[in-house]
Structure 1
Amino acid sequence: MQIIKVFLSIVYLIAFFSVESLAITWNSAYIESFAKNYLTENILPPVDGKIAFEISSIDPRVVINSCQTPLQANIPENINRRNVNIKISCADSTPWQIYLHAKVERSFAVVVATNNIEKGVVLSKNNIGIEYLAPNKIRGEKLNNLEALLGSKAERRIAKGRTITRRNVCLICKGNVVTIEAQSNNFSIKTKGIALSSGNLHQQIKVKNSQSGRVIKAEISAINRVTINL
């Protein structure tokens, strides 16, 4: 009988220490990295944009207990907010949880002036480029197609670092000589005209036919070219 008791005690101790050996004590650096990985996997960057996360550090006075089960993470609130709280939890026999504050920085690709651009200057890769800006730094319509703006002219002075908008550039500017192309499925006719208003790609502007004197509305299809679909 005594031998059986000793044997059972040994089995109990082995089982106890086996369970204890499965418990892992995580440090603050690991938990912060775990939280950032969770954000990266669950909050995707916006279309034509980037995303960055800033995780707050865990107070060094906080005691992080060991855990026998894999850590879990979730965001109990709207993930589209700029500030979120990540809940890190352990669900073993002695559960615990900790919250980490995080800032979610979203930025969007926009075309900006890389140099001061004076009125009438043609936009080129020497004076415009793509930058990623936070939404609160973007004024007006967001333009992110650099190639579509090349060849446009500044309608007013654009300071270095300012975003390019449809209001401060024109692919065809008022007074420009343009090619008017009237086209259908069977034929195409070209003539010259004068732009009576300014606009950008795919916008409609008023144009005066130089031969007939007739004023028409046509769609901007390229630099100094408008199209009428018959």
Structure 2
Amino acid sequence: MQINISNSLSTTTGIGLTLFFTLFASFSKASVHQSIQHQAELYVQQNAIIDNSADLTIKAAKIDERIHIPQCQTPFAFEASQSSLKQSNVSVKVTCPNSSWYLFTSVQVQQTKPVVVMSETMSPGSLLSEQNLYIADIPINRLRGSTYTNPDHLIGARLKRRVRPGQIINNAMLCFVCKGDKVTIMAQTKGLQLKVSGIAQQDGNLGDTIRVQNAQSKKTVSATVSSTSEVSIHI
């Protein structure tokens, strides 16, 4: 039996070339789509309203590879409105400057900060401890008021309201010194330091200035909260 080797080789070569060009076309197509996604991310990173103190994650939505993207003689252009650039989901318009082609893609912007949150439900008047606090990365649009980044700074503070697991701790929900607490008044002057007992006349957090009554003289003074048991004044 005679085998036509040339025809077989020709057929094999033809199939191989067809497969090569098909794969090359698919690769090229995918590369253009991925390139536009990457450029959209860079555009948002350079133009969005970013909090430099936050941890940043930017991710463009995958562009459907069935969408035809024509060859563009000039670099693709990217634009988004100022209002969109302030959002966590930015709508970006991609255009080819030398044609009428365009498409819209979305880019997710996630900005987070590590803050202290509750690990369990607690009632008003409860003291905070290491066991009921932990640090979590929270989107900055959820942060309100003064928050904390170190659980150690909250040990011994007292809750003013009921809290639930995962709730962000802020100044409005606690007091380091609460109204009616017995505290030590630390009076400082040049080369001299005096300690007297006092009673807090209002709630206060670290650094707050509150009214405190001297337990001996009954005189009320303004003092700065130094810890959960001490306030200080400068004479």
TM-score, normalised to structure 1, is 0.73
1:144 to 2:159 alignment: no
Alignment of 1:4-83 (within 5 A): 26-43=31-48, 45-67=50-72, 69=74, 71-78=75-82, 79-83=85-89
User: Secondary structure at 2:180's aligned position in 1?
Assistant: coil
Alignment of 1:31-180 (within 5 A): 31-43=36-48, 45-67=50-72, 69=74, 71-78=75-82, 79-90=85-96, 96-134=101-139, 137-138=142-143, 140-146=144-150, 147-180=152-185
Q: For 2:91 and 2:220, how far apart are their aligned partners in 1?
A: 60
TM-score, normalised to structure 2, is 0.71
Decide which moves more: 104-113 or 190-199.
104-113
The answer to which structure has the higher helix fraction is 2
Q: For 2:225 and 2:149, how far apart are their aligned partners in 1?
A: 16
Q: For 2:135 and 2:50, how far apart are their aligned partners in 1?
A: 17
Aligned residue-pair number: 204
Unaligned runs of 5+ in 2: 1-27
| Native 8 Å contact 1:46 1:108 kept in 2 | no
Q: For 2:170 and 2:154, how far apart are their aligned partners in 1?
A: 10
1:11 match: none
CA drift at 1:31? 2.1
Name the amino acid aligned to 1:86: V
- Tell me the C-alpha RMSD between the 2 structures: 2.9
Q: For 1:167 and 1:134, how far apart are their aligned partners in 2?
A: 19
| Native 8 Å contact 1:38 1:73 kept in 2 | no
Q: For 1:196 and 1:145, how far apart are their aligned partners in 2?
A: 28
| Native 8 Å contact 1:35 1:73 kept in 2 | no
Q: For 1:213 and 1:200, how far apart are their aligned partners in 2?
A: 23
Name the amino acid aligned to 2:90: V
Q: For 2:51 and 2:137, how far apart are their aligned partners in 1?
A: 12
Do the aligned partners of residues 163 and 76 (structure 1) sit closer, same or farther apart at CA in structure 2, a change above 3 Å counting?
closer
| Native 8 Å contact 1:180 1:228 kept in 2 | yes
| Native 8 Å contact 2:146 2:171 kept in 1 | no
Q: Percent identity?
A: 28
Q: For 1:151 and 1:137, how far apart are their aligned partners in 2?
A: 25
Name the amino acid aligned to 1:157: R
Decide which moves more: 198-207 or 116-125.
116-125
Unaligned runs of 5+ in 1: 1-23
Q: For 1:216 and 1:178, how far apart are their aligned partners in 2?
A: 13
